[in-house]
Chain A
């Protein structure tokens, strides 16, 4: 079985290196074909491993030693267990779809070959992240996906906003990574190793405050990668990248790495429920906070991006409350429907010549019915309407919040669900129905290539039916993860499900009705709340004014004033003192006899004084 592990892990990197050879050359379909084939191969291997794991297998391989110094020894070790294999299958499946989809989407792009190099490199890094058997191995993947994300956000590097967004993403992630690094250091000096198994086995006997510190520090890292408040601004700006990238990296896989970290380290986090509570509270806050910004946005991709943020909040709630398998389940279903939503958005952008303003669309259903249906499916799944996938996973999170008597969290998620329903169907209505605004603006949209639509079908199907695998999924992953006990009575459970579903459907119907009638009046755009939301609570502005600009000013000050004016000036001053005193004392050597006699007398006096007063210590 080991060979499947190696194939799954290394097939993408082979594809990446292969298309790397073509990056400086003209567009060549072979790069896309080879990378797609290798990603599919990786997917098939992962699937095979999943069935093997289902039959009770766990794989653990050590490739070679990486870093060793002092007492430290870090190997390249990989493992396949019930949790990592789920991630492997999800990642390779979505990336295969995205890769095939991109053959159409990137068809006329001059960076065609480069694009496929990056995508495969990303998949490799992501697989390293999920398959590593130690924290530093995870960190390799963690930084690797960050690098690929940076490269792909700034893919169209001639656009200033794109390269700026790439830098923002990388740097902001680095801030969080520092927290994670500190966590890693603490782990090492407490446990003497980075190996998951050893650490989890000994965590119980450690001082709780130490474990809590480790948990918090690791969570800071997770906040960066999963774009949780206050690190959330990079994700919306990351939409500068090509849309398939947004689907793969900034929705389905990379941003969920933070959730994965908490799930992976669940043996640590289950020891520290207080930290879990902080995680859940922050998650609930982000769930509502991000959804609120999606309510008013007009940018097609940014709405979906904020929706992603909000859903990540849901996942963190589940993970924080100890319902790790539910978090993983939602992570998986979300990967399916959110990437579908993004790829559908990509079709629209293509049809609309990269126009993103949803107010300029309308009535596109007639032109692109298949995309519309797929996006509607994804939206139903996102809102959690029965029988779509989101219904099963998201409802479970709300139940878990209620179960733990965290009613504030439950209520936040409940409101968040309503907001989700509103912005999702606001988007659907504005894009696909209503007035054909695009005609007035002179766009000529068209449905995309059939093979692109076919490639989306697996995601469409999974978004519809994945929820029915809830029970087998639970049984599968709770062999590794701790079980989550529901203490709610059956009737409460049914009531909760009914309440949430009714609320969501009500909001959907109301939204459809409202927009069917022509939507909101212009007046609403002058309301302070609307303006506040539209400007993303002024947080990007705040970062710019309070951090970016002062840092630059301070840096200039450090250079011009401190380095040049003070330090270097003092150094030169010392040199000048020597130089000047030499210049001045040169005058003594004037060659004038009477001057010399005068100095001779001075010398004699000094020597006499020395002879009289100086007594060497003997």
Chain B
């Protein structure tokens, strides 16, 4: 168990090298096997994880460039543990669902490489290492969209790459500046996050750094108005690309808010609380409306992702354990739900080679199983209690209520508008009479699709009914982080707010 984190990060990379010598026919089997082993490794990590320990566990530390404090530094806590499992799980499921024939070997290798970068992002405790993984993850996605996409795939791929890359450039400056600040304060260089957690920064410095990091994260999430790369990327990406993009890659942004922005810059985070919350509310309402107007199924799901990410951002900036734990849980649930939805759209796209809603109607008659699974996942997407979607959404909104009830009300319209676009989509695609001749011979789900979808549907229900083991593990680390924020805060206002939003009762 000592080097399990390194194993989890680099196992896919090692497998990639073997992937080159695997024959084309067995490439998918190879990919699934590797992803399965990787998933099992992450489960082993969970089993070995001490859930009463709020700090970083399984820490590995090897100095790389010691004069500049750059090191190979991995660790996992309650905040990152489940995001790692989500990454390995979604990679596995998306590989099972894979049915692309073209250059399958390259695709499998690319996906495994992507898996490494994703896991690396969530496990890095050194900022330089984190940045490397963060940027490396762009390359496989660029390749997936550009090589296996449809329509304007080159445009979409380049837009995705340049946009997120440009956003991250400022973050690099921020990272270097923070390292320098650490040097000034202590006399030694360090890029390790636990070291930085101890650094108390003056308010004005926090403001600048918060801004520099914010842009990188905001593009990744994506937050309004930096979101327009997302519909293109989803529109052109193959199903597997969309699944991984929506389910895991978007979470890198919100994860980074919780890992860096809040504990490193507590005062700035509180200072920018309202502007960020306003953006989050715009995301919820505006993206829901745009989703409702879409004619393409996949774009509905793409915009719905933006809307749900808005709730996650809001929960994060609730600054209390309820909200932040809820936000992290919502990241997981949105990963499962949006992954399943993109997979479901892929099912129909494989059969009809179109995603336009108007091409369908009455699918419930000819594909009842497909309709039933779509229905269950849809209910999770609109946040029905006892599905996975409810828990995170409820907690995030509950948490933010303590900060501001009116903004919570506005963001809460998401539960209405979300039902509008999802139910209307469902009605137009599945209900009504089956009129189009092309749809009359459609086959219901096959074995491959079932194998990929059933685990997702099972999780939707199981985690909806019994989210407690996950919530508890997240919660303990979140509480520790909040204590840290309170300790580090330099302004009395910040402390006051943290104290207020983390306690029950009182006036107002």
Listed by A's residue number, 25 A-B pairs whose Cβ atoms lie within 8 Å are A65-B468, A66-B465, A67-B468, A68-B468, A69-B326, A69-B395, A69-B474, A69-B475, A71-B321, A140-B385, A143-B384, A143-B385, A157-B431, A167-B423, A167-B427, A171-B420, A174-B416, A175-B416, A182-B401, A185-B401, A189-B401, A551-B289, A558-B286, A559-B289, A560-B293
Check B409 against A69 for contact (C-beta < 8 Å).
no
Residue of B294, B321, B427 touching A70 (CB-CB under 8 A): B321
Check A174 against B419 for contact (C-beta < 8 Å).
yes
Q: Distance (Å) between the CB of A252 and the closest chain B CB? A: 23
Write the chain B residue with the least CB distance to A172.
B416
Check B398 against A563 for contact (C-beta < 8 Å).
no
What 1/0 mask marks residues of chain B from 300 to 333 whose CB sits below 8 Å from any chain A CB?
Answer: 0000000000000000000011100110010000
Residue B200 lies at the interface, judged by CB distance under 8 Å to chain A: no
Check B416 against A178 for contact (C-beta < 8 Å).
yes
Residue B502 lies at the interface, judged by CB distance under 8 Å to chain A: yes
Check A556 against B293 for contact (C-beta < 8 Å).
yes
Q: Distance (Å) between the CB of B488 and the closest chain A CB? A: 20
Check A158 against B365 for contact (C-beta < 8 Å).
yes
A547-578 with Cβ < 8 A to chain B: 551-552, 554-556, 558-560, 562-563, 567-568, 571, 575
Write the chain A residue with the least CB distance to B402.
A189
Task: Return chain A residues, CB-CB under 8 Å to B390.
Answer: 143
Q: Distance (Å) between the CB of A591 and the closest chain B CB? A: 29
**Chain A residues engaging chain B, CB cutoff 8 angstroms:** 23-24, 64-72, 136, 139-140, 143-144, 147, 150, 154, 157-158, 160, 163-164, 166-167, 170-171, 174-175, 177-178, 181-182, 184-186, 188-192, 207, 551-552, 554-556, 558-560, 562-563, 567-568, 571, 575
Check A181 against B431 for contact (C-beta < 8 Å).
no
Say yes or no: A188-B228 contact (C-beta < 8 A), given A140-B385, A178-B416: no
B428-470 with Cβ < 8 A to chain A: 430-433, 465-468
Task: Return chain A residues, CB-CB under 8 Å to B430.
Answer: 157
B328-381 with Cβ < 8 A to chain A: 329, 362, 364-365, 368-369, 372, 379
Task: Return chain A residues, CB-CB under 8 Å to B408.
Answer: 182, 185
Task: Return chain B residues, CB-CB under 8 Å to A562.
Answer: 286
Write the chain A residue with the least CB distance to B428.
A163
Check B432 against A575 for contact (C-beta < 8 Å).
no
Main SS at interface, chain B: helix
Residue of A67, A140, A555, A575 touching B290 (CB-CB under 8 A): A555
Residue of A139, A171, A207, A555 touching B289 (CB-CB under 8 A): A555
Task: Return chain A residues, CB-CB under 8 Å to B507.
Answer: 207
Check A70 against B468 for contact (C-beta < 8 Å).
no
Separation of A174 and B419 alpha carbons in the complex (Å): 8
Q: Distance (Å) between the CB of B368 and the closest chain A CB? A: 6
Write the chain B residue with the least CB distance to A202.
B505
Q: Distance (Å) between the CB of A187 and the closest chain B CB? A: 10
Check B504 against A189 for contact (C-beta < 8 Å).
yes
Say yes or no: A170-B419 contact (C-beta < 8 A), given A154-B431, A178-B409, A188-B504: yes
Check B397 against A563 for contact (C-beta < 8 Å).
no
Task: Return chain A residues, CB-CB under 8 Å to B502.
Answer: 70
- Number of CB contacts from chain A to chain B under 8 A: 161
Task: Return chain B residues, CB-CB under 8 Å to A571.
Answer: 159, 163, 228-229
Write the chain B residue with the least CB distance to A178.
B412
Separation of A562 and B286 alpha carbons in the complex (Å): 10
Write the chain B residue with the least CB distance to A168.
B423
Residue of B397, B420, B433, B472 touching A68 (CB-CB under 8 A): B472
Residue of B416, B432, B471 touching A67 (CB-CB under 8 A): B471
Task: Return chain A residues, CB-CB under 8 Å to B265.
Answer: none
Task: Return chain A residues, CB-CB under 8 Å to B289.
Answer: 551, 554-555, 558-559
Q: Distance (Å) between the CB of B231 and the closest chain A CB? A: 8
Q: Which 6 A-B pairs have the closest CB atoms?
A: A70-B321, A192-B504, A185-B401, A70-B322, A555-B293, A163-B431
Residue of B228, B386, B416 touching A563 (CB-CB under 8 A): B228
Q: Distance (Å) between the CB of A123 and the closest chain B CB? A: 16
Given contacts A140-B386, A170-B419, A189-B504, 5 further A-B contacts (CB under 8 A): A158-B362, A185-B401, A188-B398, A558-B286, A571-B163
What 1/0 mask marks residues of chain B from 405 to 423 whose CB sits below 8 Å from any chain A CB?
Answer: 1001100110110011001
Q: Distance (Å) between the CB of A8 and the closest chain B CB? A: 19
Residue B483 lies at the interface, judged by CB distance under 8 Å to chain A: no
Total interface residues on B, CB under 8 Å, equals 68
Most buried by B among A147, A184, A185, A552: A185
Q: Distance (Å) between the CB of A289 and the closest chain B CB? A: 25
Task: Return chain B residues, CB-CB under 8 Å to A70.
Answer: 320-322, 325, 399, 475, 479, 502
Separation of A252 and B14 alpha carbons in the complex (Å): 64
Check A171 against B416 for contact (C-beta < 8 Å).
yes
Q: Distance (Å) between the CB of B473 and the closest chain A CB? A: 11
Separation of A552 and B420 alpha carbons in the complex (Å): 11
Check A182 against B405 for contact (C-beta < 8 Å).
yes
Check A568 against B431 for contact (C-beta < 8 Å).
no
Task: Return chain B residues, CB-CB under 8 Å to A144.
Answer: 384-386
Task: Return chain B residues, CB-CB under 8 Å to A559.
Answer: 289-290, 293-294
Check A158 against B431 for contact (C-beta < 8 Å).
yes
Say yes or no: A182-B384 contact (C-beta < 8 A), given A67-B394, A575-B162: no
Q: Distance (Å) between the CB of A247 and the closest chain B CB? A: 24
Q: Distance (Å) between the CB of B407 and the closest chain A CB? A: 12
Check A174 against B405 for contact (C-beta < 8 Å).
no
Separation of A559 and B395 alpha carbons in the complex (Å): 30
Check B321 against A167 for contact (C-beta < 8 Å).
no
Check A568 against B472 for contact (C-beta < 8 Å).
no
Residue B151 lies at the interface, judged by CB distance under 8 Å to chain A: no
What 1/0 mask marks residues of chain B from 497 to 508 whose CB sits below 8 Å from any chain A CB?
Answer: 000001111010
Say yes or no: A160-B416 contact (C-beta < 8 A), given A69-B322, A144-B385, A563-B290: no
Say yes or no: A71-B504 contact (C-beta < 8 A), given A174-B419, A181-B397, A186-B405: yes
Separation of A177 and B415 alpha carbons in the complex (Å): 9
Check A174 against B321 for contact (C-beta < 8 Å).
no
Most buried by A among B290, B321, B465: B290
Task: Return chain A residues, CB-CB under 8 Å to B372.
Answer: 23
Q: Distance (Å) between the CB of B453 and the closest chain A CB? A: 16
Residue B187 lies at the interface, judged by CB distance under 8 Å to chain A: no
Separation of A559 and B289 alpha carbons in the complex (Å): 8
Check B368 against A24 for contact (C-beta < 8 Å).
yes
Separation of A140 and B163 alpha carbons in the complex (Å): 42
Check B225 against A567 for contact (C-beta < 8 Å).
yes
Separation of A70 and B324 alpha carbons in the complex (Å): 9
Check B384 against A147 for contact (C-beta < 8 Å).
yes
Residue B82 lies at the interface, judged by CB distance under 8 Å to chain A: no
Separation of A154 and B474 alpha carbons in the complex (Å): 40
Separation of A71 and B395 alpha carbons in the complex (Å): 11
Write the chain A residue with the least CB distance to B504.
A192
Say yes or no: A147-B415 contact (C-beta < 8 A), given A182-B408, A188-B398, A558-B289: no
Residue B424 lies at the interface, judged by CB distance under 8 Å to chain A: yes
Write the chain B residue with the least CB distance to A570.
B225
Separation of A284 and B120 alpha carbons in the complex (Å): 63
What 1/0 mask marks residues of chain B from 155 to 179 whose CB sits below 8 Å from any chain A CB?
Answer: 0000100110000000000000000
